[in-house]
Amino acid sequence: MARCPSAGAVVAGLLTFYSLVVQGSAVGVLSTGQLIENHGHQSYSKHSVITEDGYFINLFRINKGRGGPPFLLLHALMGASDQWLLRDRNHDLPSILVNNGYDVWLGDFRGNLYSKNHTRLNVSNPEYWKFSIDEWAFYDVPAMMNYVCNNTEYDKMYVVTYSLSSAILFATASARPEYNDKIIVSYHMAPFLAFTNIKSLLLRLGVQFGEFYLAISRSIKNHELFSRNHWSMNSLSLFCNKKSIFLKACVTLLSELFGFDTSGNSTTNLDFKLTYSRAGVSLNSIDHLLQMIKSHKFQHYDLGHNKNLKKYGQTKPPEYDLRKVTSPVVLYYSKNDRVVDNGTIHKLISVLPKVYQTIMIPNEKFGHIDYAFNSNAKTLVFDSVINIARQFKIAPSHPQYGYNYYYY
């Protein structure tokens, strides 16, 4: 079937439709900074951090919460820091944290629209895009954590992940286990790892024919996927704006792809929210993800026999060892999640050394994208983040006195 031209055309069309409707985005939409201001936080700052391999990555800090322990929030695949700010100040996690006295930092991985600089490479250079999930984990997360520690009174932080950024943080803690000591507790909302049994038929088709899609991108020398542009904005508006005759179909498609609770999602601004699900990502990162899903292994990027031997010292890419994730972990999952199944959660519980708490969202319809879109997420998810954080009491570190104060 994969060799049949007509089938390939159908799959390419499906993937293109998926990228437009679900991953669509717009030029001229509000930036993370503007969204922060719209939430009533006039005091925020933007920070550029250099990684060990020369990439500039971005951090937004909401300064109103300075003085309390820091929270680092990591976005999902193909997204950016702005996806945490799609509701209002009473329902979005950053504002909830700031209003409870925490110091909030929003991170942007290399390659998205906020993190596209390098010490010597331009984004038009294919060399810039030669990074996968491995580099996000080995370089970007440590750079963010180091910067937060160096610019606050604390040498530990709370970390919140969403979807694939859960795997990224686990990979960091596995490959560089010393960073477990910088994590007070990590929260993993819908953790998307390699052994996920995807329920959505459309997503499974996307995975099955993903290599075909990537081959097309490589043939036209397109190393960045899912960037924000006018074309995708117009397509998104066509299908998902509040006056569109296709709006009901758009909602149905979202429900099939990810799980989508319409009771907590206003469809009048659905196109606005979907705008922020597309911020640019490297082709290699998508390729790496597809490799892991197909192999059912949480592993490094497979470069091929010879390159694997040169980089890893073995012909197959090594797996990340979840037993090295020794910092406390909180796992969130939901029954209507079409991407992350219960088996993923059970596997994590059985392997991770320190699962502090596992929380199943008490709503039968809550799905994978509801963590970013749904107003009910405040009571169903975010309030528990505050409650758990208070169970891990931490005082500022005082290096001038030669010791630290921590209370658990």
The token duo for 62 is 């909401």
CA distance 148 to 161: 16
Judged by phi (left if over 0) then psi (alpha if -120 to 50, else beta), residue 68 lies in beta
Verify whether residue 337 is a known catalytic residue.
Answer: yes
CA angle 155, 161, 164 (to 5 degrees): 130
Residue 27 and residue 230 in contact, taking contact as beta carbons nearer than 8 Å: yes
DSSP 35-100: HHHHTT---EEEEEEE-TTSEEEEEEEEGGGBTBPEEEEEPPTT--GGGG-SS-TTTSHHHHHHHT
Residue among 81, 95, 163, 327 flagged as catalytic: 163
Residue among 287, 302, 337, 370 flagged as catalytic: 337
CA distance 25 to 280: 10
Verify whether residue 288 is a known catalytic residue.
Answer: no
CA distance 363 to 375: 13
The token duo for 96 is 């909830």
The terminus-to-terminus CA distance of the chain in angstroms comes to 57
Verify whether residue 186 is a known catalytic residue.
Answer: no
Residue 168 and residue 194 in contact, taking contact as beta carbons nearer than 8 Å: no
CA distance 298 to 248: 36
**Active site positions, annotated:** 163, 337, 368
